[in-house]
Structure 1
Amino acid sequence: MDQITTKYDLRTEPWIPVERIDGTQATVSIRNALCEAHRIRRISGEIPGENIALLRLLLALVYCIYEIPEHMGEEEKRRIWRELWEGGAFPADRIDGYLVDFPHEFDLFDDEHPFYQVPHLVYMGGKKECDPVSECMIDVPKPEKFLFSMRSAEHLDALPFDLAARYLVVAQALDKAGIKTPVEGNTSAKSGKAYAPKGALGTGWCGALGGVYLEGKSLFETLVLNWVLFLSNVSVTASDDFAPWEREVPSPDTCQREPTGPIDLLTWQSRRIRLVPDESGAFVRGVIISYGDVLVPANKQRFEMMTGWRESKQQQKKLGTATVPLMPAALDTARALWRNLPSLLAVAEEERLRPGVIRWMGEVQDVQHADDWRFKLRIVCQGVKYGTQSSVVDDAMTDTVDLRATLMRKDSEALTNMLELIRQTDIAVGAFVKFAQNIERTQGDRRRYETFSDAAAQATKDDMRERAYDALDALYRRRIADFPDRDVAAYCEAWRAEARGILRKLAQAYVSRRHISYFAERDEVSAGRALMWFERDLAQALA
């Protein structure tokens, strides 16, 4: 089959993996993902970062379909949002009325406007036709490092169109940085190599984010919960904000520019890409990929809703700005999400700003009765961790926390109490680590465990901390999910008591495994005395 006639229309072809409300798995088109969103539980991708990348694409479509004017008043925006939420489903005629206007732009292989790509893209100098298709797969390492991959090296020479489409969306959102091969039309290439501009983000835009979004009982609820229209009297929507399929095809050149609005950032084209199908027109056999739209991540908080923000004096020096810029506050992929809740949900943080999707829950609840918001929703964090100058993907993280929507109100005293208890937990875990240090001192290695400056001692310290958090994990997820609006003091005291009991058992087991005397002293420390100190510190931490 001639490559020119190869077609794959993402509006109607099934390519988005989902889990339905009844628990069954399916693959759906863009149209069905939106029209049947109330029957779909969630997107269920397997590629690192796939869920958030696909969710952002569908969310951009919601913004496009409803086209909320920037100058519209806040009450009118609240009304539109509330009517859609209470309606429980996206109107199919509205979705079809929008998608019909783009008969070519959602085709993977359209000759003039291929989806998320640049047509006729070729590598500079004609040295190679294309790269292996694995070059756009963020979970596949370079061939010389494939020994350490969790993916089989077989069947990487071709991808079916549905999987290629998903990798395309993920690559635009999360592709790693590093040296790229320049394409014809790239004016910034040096010595046959393409780089991100100095000071700009080298990875895909989502790679800089904390990757936080809210999940409801269905994909419909998830999309509407994250459909932010204004924050703190500032409109989120913008009149000149368009998606890639609504714009002219970009040039092959790297372009450093500012985003025009939330749609632009949700679909940010960080790469210039062209998928190369095989001669049969049945698979994608190669890819051409280089740098596309790049940006400096500072001060994008008006339009980017899926990350927290923090002041960075270091970036102020680098950028030479008069004020301290706000930078995306990516979460630590090594920590459970519930441990990050104080930085995500705390209202009164002078140098930090909560993610827009969380602040939006406060905005829409302000004019409604609290009883309407006592349902549970889920905070989801999904992202990747890069290594070696962001040129490789070291780790991928997906974590969730269930909690009541009322805890996201700006005036929630219950939230203040819950976050304070989580902060106290950090102190209590620190007391457990100190206890372990004292026990090791009774074994005679004073030099190592007095300062924990030795690498092996630091490893012991880190292991004890993670052991404590692992033991507390199930308790804290359950307690956060069931946190009440009333009788908060009694609930927190019962929670603290359970946490003290878990840490106390850990301490007792730690001593028992070493078969040491409770009374034998070394350097004025004994196991019994270490336990006594631990009980004191534990009581103070979780008082």
Structure 2
Amino acid sequence: MDGKEPEMEFNLLDEPWIVVKTKANETKTWSILELFEHAHEAQDLAGELPTQDVAIMRLLLAIMHGAFVTDDIADSDDAINLWTDLWEQKQFPYDNIKAYLEPYHDRFWLFHPTQPFYQSAHIKKNMDAYKAAKGKKVSAEIKWKTVARLVGDLFQSDHAPRLFPARTREAQNRLTYAEAARWLLHLNGFDDDSAKMPTPKGVGYLGQLGILYAKGRNLFETLMLNFVLVDDRDEVFADNEEDSKAYWEKPICETIEREISQPRAQKDLLTMQSRRILLHREQGMVTGYLLTMGDYFAKDASLLNEVMTVWKSDDTRGFAPKRHQLEAQIWRDLSSLLGMKIKNDDNARQPGIIHWLQMLEDTTEKIRFDVNLFHICVTGASYSLKGAGWQIVDYIQDDLTINASLLAKMNEMWVQEIVGVLERTKEAVRRLGYFAADIDEVSGDSLQGSPSTKRREIVKLAQEEGYHHLDQAFQSWLLGVNPDKDELETRTAEWLLIAKKTLLRLAQEQLNQCSETALIGRIKEGGEQNAIKAFQEFQHHIKKALG
């Protein structure tokens, strides 16, 4: 033995690297082939971060599109029939998956001299050529980035260590091959756009989305529910066309920084390469990596083929992906989640996954679809502008369970009414914030510092407190809503009463804690103001908003 690492090592089809939670609540690590053979025996993916699980899920979904979508799938009826045949088996046809992947076995080596998985083998050469073309100095030395920059739950700069990291000491500098494979997919999808060469055209593709997905009763169901075969016009995605290829089905692109058109095929989009990466290994461990820009879409490009995102209106593109807010619970943006119009706003677009679930629910009798509740999850990375670029500061994860019949087209009125009462709830919470600020103002404390800045802070904190107390109440109420049995007016009135009582209680607690100064009040422009009067005004606005 010469001490060198073997040219080809750690094939992701055969080696265990995907972390799952079994039905017995045990954590296991499976290869890709093992996962498809035993997906029905697992609860869910269970990696280090929910964003990592989504990156891996998209890889698995791309394999499903490659294995199951054929030339025979010509329209939405064919798509539903294909999906139904798979669903009713209650587990994946393992032989089909294995037969599809066998010709691409060599493309799944994590380490390979010319085609390492999700990597660029000649990245150093291409980086040097790019530098030379720009008139920059080229060094023969390879400056590997530390793996501390690769690990998403540790994410830190080389000069500013993160407090209380999940990995410490030597573990920060070394990753097993299985760990590195998981973080490789995460980096490709959610990398920031801080200084690197060339200057990135935004964060990684997945970081630009407001990701949502459906969760089933086991991993097989989760993958199947997100196996979307048609767009929002009920047209089949072009996964079977000649130029529609997954990452492993097409030649490796070594070009640094390449603008591409958004693919129509799902397996192509699901395996998009936002970054060019190369892992570095020493003595059976990954100790560093190289990273450059990769594929990206033009700023004005339509991204409407993406099914795992919520949308917002956009002047240039019509619609653009809408990122989730770090501190906003999922139900507060139910209109975007379900793609419903609110008030006089005609600009609404339904997420592809929600359209697909609705389509499945509408065909319940035909396909014996036995899901009564849809568990909708959202996730994503939260970025903050630091120095020259956007850097990850936190991760987002939330979920919501709704009755499947709410998504049926016949129950569109139900969804519109629920979105409507949520808009009224938001107005009431807004008034809670104003009440808290009014209480502070009559107490005299706002005379110190900047009154306007302090008022905004108090309003925000009070509103967050209001939403916090409404969160579990709304989720429990929504879980119990069943349009097949309930009266619409009775159910919506029930929520308005819950919200009204909750917010009045919070306001009463604030009033009870008021100082004597606040109760006496002070003279303002327009008359005397005190805590009692502010509370009465709040009651008036709450009744106006919630009835």
- TM-score normalized with structure 1 length: 0.89
CA contact (8 A) 2:72 2:78 kept: no
Query: Contact 1:106–1:114 at 8 Å: present in 2 too?
Result: yes
Select 1:353's aligned residue among 310, 330, 349: 349
How far, CA to CA, are the matches of 1:340 and 1:364 in structure 2?
A: 23
Q: Does 1:333 align with 2:326?
A: yes
Q: Quick check: 1:128 aligned with 2:160?
A: no
- Give the Cα separation in 2 of the matches to 1:298 and 1:4: 45
Q: Mind listing any 5+ residue stretches in structure 2 that lack a counterpart? A: 129-137
- 1:251-270 aligned at under 5 Å gives the runs 251-260=254-263, 261-270=265-274
For 2:92 and 2:455, locate their aligned partners in 1 and report how far apart those are by CA, in whole Å: 57
1:532-543 mapped onto 2 (5 Å cutoff):
532-543=536-547
Deviations 1:166-219 (A, max 9, x none): 010101111111332xxxxxxxxxxxx4223xxxx4221101000111111111
* 1:87 Cα offset (Å): 2.0
Identity among equivalent positions (%) equals: 25
Number of residue-to-residue matches in the alignment = 514
Amino acid corresponding to residue 107 of structure 2 in structure 1: E
Q: 1:367 aligns with which of 363, 373, 383?
A: 363
Task: Map 1:473-484; keep pairs closer than 5 Å.
Answer: 473-484=471-482
Distance 2:292 2:202 in 1: 11
1:108: Cα distance to partner?
Answer: 0.3
Q: Provide closer, same or farther for how the CA distance between residues 134 and 414 of structure 1 changes in structure 2, counting only shifts above 3 A.
A: same
SS at match of 2:379: strand
Contact 1:298 1:327 in 2 (8 A): no
How many Å apart are 1:492 and its aligned residue?
2.1
1:46 is paired with a residue whose SS is coil
CA deviation string 1:25-80 (max 9, x = no partner): 21111112222111111111223621111111111111111124496022111111
How far has the Cα of 1:453 moved from its partner? 5.5
The answer on whether the counterparts of 1:433 and 1:464 sit within 8 Å (CA) in structure 2 is: yes
Could you tell me how far 1:446 is from its partner in structure 2?
A: 7.3
Q: Counterpart of 1:525? A: 529
**Using the alignment, how far apart are the partners of 2:296 and 2:324 within structure 1?**
22
Per-residue displacement from partner, 1:110-139 (whole Å, max 9, x unpaired)?
A: 223211112243252323252222333344
Q: 1:141 aligns with which of 156, 162, 167?
A: 156
Asked if the contact 1:442–1:521 (Cα under 8 Å) also holds between the matched residues in 2, the reply is yes
Summarize the alignment of residues 406-425 of structure 1 with structure 2, pairs less than 5 Å apart. Answer: 406-412=405-411, 413-425=413-425
Root-mean-square deviation (CA, aligned residues, Å) is: 2.4
Question: CA separation in 1, counterparts of 2:371 and 2:189?
Answer: 34
Write the letter of the residue equivalent to 2:159. E
What CA distance in whole angstroms lies between the structure 1 residues aligned with 2:214 and 2:50? 18
Residues 157-196 of structure 1 mapped to structure 2, 5 A cutoff:
157-180=173-196, 193-196=197-200
Deviations 1:409-433 (A, max 9, x none): 3342222222222211101111212
Q: Is the 8 A contact 1:70 1:236 kept in 2?
A: no
| Distance (whole Å) between structure 2 residues aligned to residue 73 and residue 262 of structure 1 | 16
Distance 2:512 2:312 in 1: 44
Distance across 1 between alignment mates of 2:167 and 2:226: 36
In structure 2, C-alpha distance between the alignment counterparts of 1:374 and 1:127, rounded to whole Å: 57
Q: Which residue in the other structure is 1:380 paired with?
A: 377
Q: Following the alignment from structure 2 to structure 1, what is the Cα–Cα distance between the partners of residues 476 and 426?
A: 18
1:158, CA displacement in angstroms? 1.4
| Alpha-carbon spacing, 1:46–1:112, altered in 2? closer, same or farther (3 Å) | same
| C-alpha spacing 1:423/1:405, structure 2 compared with 1 (3 Å) | same
Q: CA deviation at 1:328?
A: 1.0
User: What letter is aligned with 1:233?
Assistant: D
What displacement does 1:473 show? Answer: 1.2
* Distance of 1:345 and 1:210 partners within structure 2: 13
The one-letter code sitting in structure 2 at the alignment partner of 1:286 is: G
AA aligned opposite 1:439: I
Q: Which secondary structure does the structure 2 equivalent of 1:52 belong to?
A: helix
* Equivalent residue number for residue 9 of structure 2: 7
For 1:519 and 1:271, the matched residues in 2 are separated by 60
The residue identity in structure 2 corresponding to 1:263 is K
Q: TM-score of the superposition, structure 2-length normalised?
A: 0.88
Residue matched to 1:247: 250
State the AA in 1 paired with 2:454.
A
Cα deviation, 1:485-538, whole Å, max 9, x if unaligned, reads 122322222222222221111111111122438963433223322222222221
Equivalent position SS for 2:28: strand
Describe the SS at the equivalent of 2:522. Answer: coil
- Code of the residue aligned with 2:351 in structure 1: it is P
CA change 1:127–1:2 in 2 (3 A) is closer
Is the 2:123–2:254 contact (alpha carbons within 8 Å) kept by the matching residues of 1?
no
Distance 1:96 1:147, change over 3 A: closer
Q: 1:71 to 1:28 in 2, by over 3 A?
A: closer
Structure 1 residue aligned with 2:32: 30
- Read off the aligned partner of 1:339 and give its amino acid letter: R
Mapped partners of 1:521, 1:112: distance in 2: 76
Which AA in structure 1 matches 2:211?
G
CA distance in 1, matches of 2:72, 2:266: 12
Partner Cα distance (2:114, 2:518) in 1: 78
Paired with 2:223 and 2:509, the residues of 1 have a C-alpha distance of: 46
- 1:434, 1:14 → 2: CA distance? 54
User: 2:439–2:514: 8 Å Cα contact kept in structure 1?
Assistant: no
Query: Which residue is 2:296 aligned to?
Result: 294
Deviations 1:283-319 (A, max 9, x none): 1112111111122254544421111222322xx3xxx
* Distance verdict in 2 for CA 1:71–1:39, change over 3 Å: closer
Match in the other structure for 1:433: 433
Contact map agreement 1:347 1:410 (CA 8 A) in 2: no
2:189/2:274 contact within 8 Å kept: yes
8 Å Cα contact 2:326-2:395 kept in structure 1 = yes
Q: Cα 1:311–1:168, aligned 2, differ >3 Å: closer, same or farther?
A: same
